[in-house]
C-alpha cells in the first residue's frame, strides 16, 4: 500500500497520523508512507523521528479579513495546492489521508482532483473548517466522537472510529501500583489529583494550582503536577517568593514533564486538564473523573465541545478559563475526591464514551476506500 498522510501543526493532528501510519505498517510491512506538512509545525520533529519521510508545502489557515497579510497567505496556499499535486503525481499513492488542519485543504483537494481515494480523520467533537470545507470531496470522514457526525454536512460517508492514542487502561496489582506511587514521590494514603496542561503547560491552570498550594488547601488530597517545561522555573521562583521550596511541598509533587504518563494517569483518582481531543479520549478510555478547563480562543471553540462529551454523561465538570480560580478549583476537586461514591460513578460514566480497537477500525476503512475506487 502506498499512502500519503497530510498532518501539520500540533501533536493533536500529527500523532493520529503517525498512529495510522504505524498501523498500516503493522498490517502491510511493505507499505510505503510519506507525510505532507509545512516547514513550521511539529511535524518537522515528530515525523522524521518516527521514521517517515516528510514533504513540505506552503499552506496557511485563511481568515475572512481582507488584509495584505491574508492575501499573501491565500496566494501561498494556492501555490501549496500545486506543490501537493506534484508530490501526489510523483508518489502515486493508493490513498491520501488527512488528519485535520489547514494542510488538508490543498492536499485532499489535489488528491480528489487526481481521482485518488481520500479519507479525513477529525479528532474533535466540533469539526474544524478544513473538514467541513472538504466534506463533499472526501470519500470517507472518520470521527472521534459521535457528537461530530451531526455537525458535518454533505459528507459522502461518516464513520465513527475514535482517535488512536498511546495511553490505555491498566489494571495494576497492589504491589505494582504502590511501586508507581512511591517512585513518583507520592503517598498511598491520599487521593491523587493529576494536573497537566499539555506539553507546554497551561498558565491559567498553573495559577490556580499555585493558589491552592500557597494557601495549603490540599490537606485532604495530593497533587501530581506537570507544569510544562517552559513554566517550571517561573513557578519555582513564585513559590520561592513565598519561602516555599518546589521540592518540599506537603502533599504535592511538581515536575516540568511526566515521562511515565500512562502509569500516572492510571493510578490517579482525578485528572485536571485542558480538553484537547486526545486528552478527552485518554481520560474516557481510562475511565477517570475529570475537571476540564477548555482552552479559549481556538478554532470553533472545539475544546469546549470536546469537554461537553464527558460532561454530558456525568463524567466531568467544566470550569471555563475566565472563571477559573484556586477557590473554585479546590472546591470542585474536594467534591469529587472526598466522595468515593461520586468518584466511582464519574469513572463509570467516563467509560461510556470510551472507544476500543480504534486502529483496526481505521485500517478497515482505508482498505475499503481503496478497494471501492
Supply the CATH number for residue 120's domain.
Answer: 3.40.50.2000
Examine residue 337 and state whether it is found in any structural domain, yes or no. yes
Does residue 11 have a pLDDT over 90? no
Does residue 63 have a pLDDT over 60? no
- Counting residues of the chain whose pLDDT is more than 70, the rounded percentage is 93
Phi, psi at residue 353, to the nearest 5°?
Answer: -110, 15
Task: State the DSSP H helix or E strand holding residue 53, giving kind and residue range, or none if neither.
Answer: strand 53-56
C-alpha cell at 350: 467516563
Examine residue 129 and state whether it is found in any structural domain, yes or no. yes
Does residue 321 have a pLDDT over 80? yes
Does residue 64 have a pLDDT over 60? no
Confidence tier at 79 by pLDDT (50, 70, 90)? confident
Out of 92-101, 164-173, 262-271, the most confident range is: 262-271
Examine residue 168 and state whether it is found in any structural domain, yes or no. no
Are 196 and 250 contained in the same domain?
Answer: yes
d(CA 134, CA 152): 10
- Counting residues of the chain whose pLDDT is more than 90, the rounded percentage is 79
Does residue 65 have a pLDDT over 90? no
- DSSP summary character for residue 10: S
C-alpha cell at 88: 501526489
Does residue 111 have a pLDDT over 60? yes
Is there a contact between 290 and 309 (Cβ–Cβ < 8 Å)?
no
Is there a contact between 271 and 252 (Cβ–Cβ < 8 Å)?
no
The pLDDT assigned to 123 comes to 92
Are 281 and 212 contained in the same domain?
Answer: yes
Examine residue 340 and state whether it is found in any structural domain, yes or no. yes
Does residue 352 have a pLDDT over 70? yes
Number of domains the chain is built from: 2
Does residue 199 have a pLDDT over 60? no
Are 202 and 286 contained in the same domain?
Answer: yes
Confidence tier at 100 by pLDDT (50, 70, 90)? confident
Query: In terms of DSSP bridges, do strands 290-292 and 316-318 run parallel, antiparallel, or are they unpaired?
Result: parallel
Least confident range of 95-109, 112-126, 334-348: 95-109
The pLDDT assigned to 67 comes to 65
Examine residue 116 and state whether it is found in any structural domain, yes or no. yes
Examine residue 267 and state whether it is found in any structural domain, yes or no. yes
The pLDDT assigned to 335 comes to 98
Phi, psi at residue 291, to the nearest 5°?
Answer: -115, 120
Quickly list H helices, the chain.
Answer: 11-27, 43-49, 68-91, 103-113, 129-134, 174-183, 203-214, 229-240, 261-267, 277-286, 302-311, 326-337, 340-351, 358-372
d(CA 272, CA 45): 28
- Give the closest residue to 193 by CA, choosing from 225, 219, 167: 225
Is there a contact between 243 and 261 (Cβ–Cβ < 8 Å)?
no
Are 100 and 238 contained in the same domain?
Answer: no
Phi, psi at residue 96, to the nearest 5°?
Answer: -120, 130
Are 143 and 188 contained in the same domain?
Answer: no
Are 196 and 316 contained in the same domain?
Answer: yes
Confidence tier at 34 by pLDDT (50, 70, 90)? very high
Does residue 133 have a pLDDT over 70? yes
d(CA 239, CA 236): 5
Are 347 and 366 contained in the same domain?
Answer: no
User: Model pTM?
Assistant: 0.87
Confidence tier at 76 by pLDDT (50, 70, 90)? low
Are 232 and 144 contained in the same domain?
Answer: no
Are 134 and 40 contained in the same domain?
Answer: yes
Least confident range of 3-7, 152-156, 284-288: 152-156
Residue for grid cell 466531568: 316
Does residue 71 have a pLDDT over 70? no
Confidence tier at 297 by pLDDT (50, 70, 90)? confident
Examine residue 144 and state whether it is found in any structural domain, yes or no. yes
Examine residue 247 and state whether it is found in any structural domain, yes or no. yes
Does residue 200 have a pLDDT over 70? no
**Three-state SS sequence of 90-147:** HHCCCEEEECCCCHHHHHHHHHHHCCCCEEEEECCCCCCHHHHHHCCCCCEEEECCHH
Range of the domain at 209: 174-351
Are 153 and 200 contained in the same domain?
Answer: no
* Residues 6 or more apart in contact with residue 145 via CB below 8 angstroms: 124, 125, 160, 277, 280, 306, 309, 353
Does residue 75 have a pLDDT over 60? no
59 Rama sector, left if φ>0, alpha if ψ -120 to 50, beta otherwise = beta
* Residues 6 or more apart in contact with residue 104 via CB below 8 angstroms: 6, 98, 120, 130, 131, 134
Higher-confidence residue: 229 or 225? 225
Are 77 and 222 contained in the same domain?
Answer: no
The pLDDT assigned to 10 comes to 81
Does residue 66 have a pLDDT over 70? no
Q: pLDDT of 301-314, one tens digit each?
A: 889 999 999 999 99
Q: What is the mean pLDDT of the chain?
A: 92
Mean local confidence (pLDDT), 225-231: 89
Are 184 and 68 contained in the same domain?
Answer: no
Is there a contact between 333 and 193 (Cβ–Cβ < 8 Å)?
yes
Amino acid at each position: 500500500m502506498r499512502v500519503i498522510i497530510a498532518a501539520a501543526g500540533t501533536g493533536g493532528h500529527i500523532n493520529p497520523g503517525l498512529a495510522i501510519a504505524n498501523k498500516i505498517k503493522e498490517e502491510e510491512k511493505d507499505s510505503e508512507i510519506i507525510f505532507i506538512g509545512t516547514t513550521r509545525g511539529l511535524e518537522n520533529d515528530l515525523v522524521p523521528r518516527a521514521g517517515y519521510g516528510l514533504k513540505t508545502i506552503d499552506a496557511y489557515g485563511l481568515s475572512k479579513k481582507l488584509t495584505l497579510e491574508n492575501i499573501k497567505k491565500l496566494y501561498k496556499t494556492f501555490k501549496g495546492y500545486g506543490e501537493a499535486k506534484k508530490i501526489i503525481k510523483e508518489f502515486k499513492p493508493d490513498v491520501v489521508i488527512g488528519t485535520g488542519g489547514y494542510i488538508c485543504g490543498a492536499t485532499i483537494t489535489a488528491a480528489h482532483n487526481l481521482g485518488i481515494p481520500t479519507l479525513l480523520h477529525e479528532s474533535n467533537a466540533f469539526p474544524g473548517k478544513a473538514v467541513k470545507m472538504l466534506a463533499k470531496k472526501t470519500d470517507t470522514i472518520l470521527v472521534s466522537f459521535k457528537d461530530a457526525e451531526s455537525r458535518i454536512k454533505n459528507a459522502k460517508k461518516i464513520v465513527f472510529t475514535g482517535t488512536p492514542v498511546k495511553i490505555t487502561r491498566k489494571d495494576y496489582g497492589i504491589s505494582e501500583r504502590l511501586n508507581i506511587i512511591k517512585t513518583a514521590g507520592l503517598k498511598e494514603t491520599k487521593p491523587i489529583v493529576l494536573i497537566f496542561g499539555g506539553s507546554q503547560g497551561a498558565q491559567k491552570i498553573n495559577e490556580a494550582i499555585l493558589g491552592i498550594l500557597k494557601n495549603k488547601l490540599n490537606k485532604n488530597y495530593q497533587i501530581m503536577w506537570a507544569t510544562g517545561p517552559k513554566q517550571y522555573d517561573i513557578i519555582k521562583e513564585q513559590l520561592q517568593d513565598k519561602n516555599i521550596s518546589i521540592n518540599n511541598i506537603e502533599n504535592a509533587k511538581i515536575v516540568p514533564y511526566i515521562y511515565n504518563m500512562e502509569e500516572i494517569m492510571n493510578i490517579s483518582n482525578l485528572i485536571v486538564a485542558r480538553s484537547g481531543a486526545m486528552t478527552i479520549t485518554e481520560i474516557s478510555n481510562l475511565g477517570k473523573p475529570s475537571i476540564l478547563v477548555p482552552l479559549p480562543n481556538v478554532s470553533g471553540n472545539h475544546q469546549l465541545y470536546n469537554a461537553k462529551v464527558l460532561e454530558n454523561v456525568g463524567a466531568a465538570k467544566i470550569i471555563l478559563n475566565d472563571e477559573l480560580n484556586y477557590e473554585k478549583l479546590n472546591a470542585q476537586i474536594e467534591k469529587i475526591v472526598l466522595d468515593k461514591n461520586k468518584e466511582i460513578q464519574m469513572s463509570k460514566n467516563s467509560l461510556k464514551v470510551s472507544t476500543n480497537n480504534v486502529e483496526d477500525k481505521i485500517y478497515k476503512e482505508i482498505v475499503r476506500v481503496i478497494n471501492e475506487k
